[in-house]
Amino acid sequence: MRIKEFRIDRYGHIGYHDKFGLKNFTLFWGKNEAGKTLTLEAIIKFMLGKYSKAFPNINRVNESPSGYLVIELSNGDVKLPENGSLVDIIGIDTSIFRNIFIIRNSDLTIENEAGFYNDIADRLTGLNLQKIKDVKEKIFSIGHLTEKFNIKDDQNSRKLATRISQATKLIDEIGDFLEKAYAKGYDEVEKLIVSMENEREKLQETISIYREAEKRRKYEIGVEIKNNYEKKLEALKNLSFINKEAEKELNQANISIKHHQESINEKKETLENLRKDVNRLKQELFDLEVDYELLKKRKLQIENVIPKIGKYKEESENLAGKRFGKVLYIYSFVISFVVLLASLGFALFGMKIASNIFAFISLVALLSGTVNVVWLKRKEGRLVHILENIKNELAPLGLGSENISDIHKNIQRFMDEVERFEIKINKKKNTIENCENQISILDKEIEELYSKIKSLENNIKNILINAKVENIEDYSKKVEEKDKLEAELSSLVSEFYRVFGLDKAVEFDRWDEVLKEYESFKESALNIEYIPGKIDEYQSRLDKIEEKLENLKKAKEEYTRKFHQFEERSNEILLLDEPVRIDSLSQIEKLKDKLIEFLSHHQQMFDDCKIAIQILEEIENEKKQSIKELFDKKSKAVEYFKNFSENRYKAISYDLEKNRLHLIGKDDIEIPVENLSAGAYDQLYLAVRLSLAESILENEAGFFLMDDPFIKSDPDRLEKEIEILLKLALEGWQIVYFSAKEEILERVKKLQGVEKSLVEVFVLDDINKTNSHIENTPSLF
């Protein structure tokens, strides 16, 4: 099977005037947008027709190509699409073309890999794995089995697993039941039931008479309780103004009055003490103020002296400076005397001018010094006189002293004492004011407490008047009396409820209704004395008979119920058209036989289905083994891949469970295909495609349409891959290669020089230029 020639008149923007004749290795080379992809798509559409839709992105041009393609088969040439589709002509599925013979978009991977290998194995072995699977599923469905050979328990099987389990259990239960039924004498039960029912009837009649006597007695007691209740209720109405809240209020008011009175007494005592304190403090303040007046007079006198002291200090300080001049005078006198002696000396030696000068200086110095000394003496005398006056004025005040410094200290101490007196007086005044404020507050509080006491006493008086009692003690007695009446009424109510067996409150107004129900028994069973406990005695005997009778009936009902249970359960298990009916022990025995037959039937069905499925699984395993053999050590896929990879890998293995390929390295380590480089990955799937193609075509040569399959390969690997493709071409395979890679063009042209009859190269860029030239040439006609 090979492509002999094709021609594309128009497809999208491409169209060729001449047909293309293909050799064993034909390269269509062109740069991007030269028309390679559209040329390949046109070939696929010519070849596969309507089946070309299985290829993704095949309709980039939404039209069918105009032209033809000729396929050379073993039985002659076929022109497409004129003679139909290659899929229909040779009977090869579209997926085989997609995954083996046609490589688009540089994609060497196999679509739906696991399912595709199954289809290949079906084709090679003649066994349809899907049909085997369908038959297995049908057998599983018929036998109602799961894949683990368990019986299903779903709606489709009508809960078969449950029904089988229930049938087994029911057979055992029926066996036990039959054994017990025969042992207990099922036929004697009816006679005992009749005998005991007669005895029960007599006891019931006796109990009925005693119950009438009991009701008569209840009526009598009820009337008595009602009469007592009415009397006590009337007495309680007379105490309607008495209540515990008022009593509590009276006691609380009484306690409050006592508390307020105690508080008043305490406050009065405090008030009395405060008033005494105020009187004492006022007297102390008066004494202080008297003393303070004396101090103020002394202070005025002292204040008159203070300016004199200031003047004394001022003149004393001035005089202190002058005293230094006095010292200088003494020194100047000595010097003047010496100068005078010197002037005398100069006179003796005839030095008159010098003697006169020194004499004049000496006299001037002596004269000025004498004047200064006299003036100082007068000043000192004046200061002494001032000091004496100050001392004389302060002596009566007790502040005198010998020197001005001590006088000043005495005055300061006096002034400090005056200040302390002023502080004491102010403090006393503040204390008196605070006490008077407290007195005012206490007076107001006492007045308020008296007001509260009066209000409480009025409340007490009003309560006692309304209750018509004299004092609180009498009121408390009335409260006790009321409590006692209420307790007695409550007791009568409880007694009424107990006598008539009432379980919920019934208002007194409705007691007559209760009594009316029993009124009809007031003349009943007058000849029977009501004795408490007698009814219980008869009832106990009746209960025992009832119990025995109930057990007998239960025995009868148990058998009847068992019959019904066996009916219901067997109908749920057997699902017969006619439901099972049981009235006797013999029918139960027949039911047991039917259940045993039901189990036997389904056990046989289970065994038959299991054997059939095991046979099919053996066939299925053979089929899976054939898939594995596609990649065994002797397969062409391994041989091709070894050549591609230069024997880097020992084998290709297919995992039947995970449905995926992996490689065996030289060190026998499994390598997932995902771990391969992009180039090695492409080489692996090219090897698989080549091997599968040979298997599909039964070792006959075919064609491969390749769209740049080695785009990820490095130069060395690409060289090796081109050599393998050439080798395939030499063996009769047809390689139709589409590429835009310069190195591919160069290598194939070199091959063309060596194998001209085998290799053909079409440069689409050149062809397009020629077509353009022809189209642009003016027509001669």
pLDDT single digits (tens) 585-618: 778 888 889 889 988 888 888 777 878 777 777 7
Which residues, in sequence order, are bridge partners of residue 66? Answer: 10
Q: Over range 743-750, report the average pLDDT.
A: 91
Report pLDDT for 130.
63
Whether 619 has a pLDDT exceeding 90, the answer reads no
Could you give the CA distance from residue 513 to residue 500 in angstroms, rounded to a whole number?
12
Report pLDDT for 720.
83
**CATH fold of the domain at 244-444:** Helix Hairpins (1.10.287)
3-class state of residue 103 by DSSP: strand
As given in the structure block, the two tokens for residue 610 are 């299991």
Contact (CB, 8 A) for 318 and 343 = no
Report pLDDT for 781.
27
Report pLDDT for 376.
60
Report pLDDT for 478.
84
pLDDT single digits (tens) 441-482: 999 999 999 999 999 989 988 888 888 888 888 888 888 888
Report pLDDT for 131.
66
Contact (CB, 8 A) for 318 and 382 = no
pLDDT band at 631 (very low <50, low <70, confident <90, very high): low
Side-chain half-sphere exposure of 291, counting CA atoms within 13 A: 14
Report pLDDT for 126.
45
Q: Over range 575-592, report the average pLDDT.
A: 81
Q: What is the CA radius of gyration of the chain?
A: 72
Report pLDDT for 685.
78
Look over the chain and give the mean of its residue pLDDT values, rounded to a whole number. 79
Packing angle of the helix pair 244-348, 352-394 (nearest 10 deg): 150
Highest mean pLDDT (candidates 214-223, 308-317, 432-441, 694-703)? 432-441
Q: What residues does each domain of the chain span?
A: 2-106+630-776, 244-444
pLDDT band at 774 (very low <50, low <70, confident <90, very high): very low
Classify 2-106+630-776 by CATH class.
Answer: alpha beta
Highest mean pLDDT (candidates 182-186, 538-542, 558-562)? 538-542
Q: Over range 335-362, report the average pLDDT.
A: 65
Pairing state of beta strands 734-739 and 703-707?
parallel
Report pLDDT for 324.
47
As given in the structure block, the two tokens for residue 120 are 């290949």
pLDDT band at 570 (very low <50, low <70, confident <90, very high): confident
* Long-range contact set of residues 134-141: C-beta below 8 Å, sequence gap at least 24: 135/616, 136/613, 136/616, 136/617, 136/620, 139/609, 139/612, 139/613, 139/616, 140/609, 140/613
Chain centroid offset of residue 499 CA: 62
Contact (CB, 8 A) for 189 and 550 = no
Chain centroid offset of residue 284 CA: 81
Could you give the CA distance from residue 690 to residue 733 in angstroms, rounded to a whole number?
10
Report pLDDT for 47.
92
Could you give the CA distance from residue 509 to residue 490 in angstroms, rounded to a whole number?
15
Decide which of 377 and 428 is more confident: 428
Which residues, in sequence order, are bridge partners of residue 739? Answer: 29
pLDDT single digits (tens) 128-157: 556 667 776 777 777 777 777 788 788 887
Contact (CB, 8 A) for 280 and 348 = no
Could you give the CA distance from residue 109 to residue 684 in angstroms, rounded to a whole number?
9
Report pLDDT for 377.
63
H or E stretch at 6: strand 2-10
Chain centroid offset of residue 686 CA: 54
Question: pTM value?
Answer: 0.41
Whether 120 has a pLDDT exceeding 90, the answer reads no
Report pLDDT for 118.
58
Q: Cis bond leading into 81, ω under 30°? A: yes
